[in-house]
């Protein structure tokens, strides 16, 4: 079995400006929920965007909710 080249993955995908911007949006959403007390570090939940970012949603409090990982990831493509 070949070993996974994480450096190459980062350089070719995760390190692209587009992916960095998307990751920053996800981190911002989590921080918004932590400030309101809806999320805590290590709670095992995901922040769900009611209107997905890919459809023009934002990371504002009104568009965010906390969901279990399994629920959130099962209906997001």
| Residue 12 counted as domain residue | yes
| Residue 2 counted as domain residue | no
- The Cα 26–Cα 11 span in angstroms is 20
| Residue 1 counted as domain residue | no
Task: Judge whether residue 77 has pLDDT over 80.
Answer: no
**Percent of the chain whose pLDDT exceeds 70:** 97
**Integer CA distances (angstroms), 37 to 27, 43, 59, 72, in order:** 15, 12, 16, 19
Question: Does the reported pTM lie above 0.85?
Answer: no
Structural domain count of the chain: 1
């Amino acid at each position: 079995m070949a070993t996974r080249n994480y450096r190459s993955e980062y350089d070719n995908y995760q390190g692209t400006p587009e992916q960095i911007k998307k990751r920053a949006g996800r981190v911002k959403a989590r921080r918004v929920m932590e400030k309101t007390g809806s999320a805590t570090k290590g709670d095992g939940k995901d922040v769900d965007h009611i209107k997905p970012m890919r459809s023009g949603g934002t990371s504002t409090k009104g568009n965010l909710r906390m969901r279990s990982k399994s629920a959130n990831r099962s209906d997001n493509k």
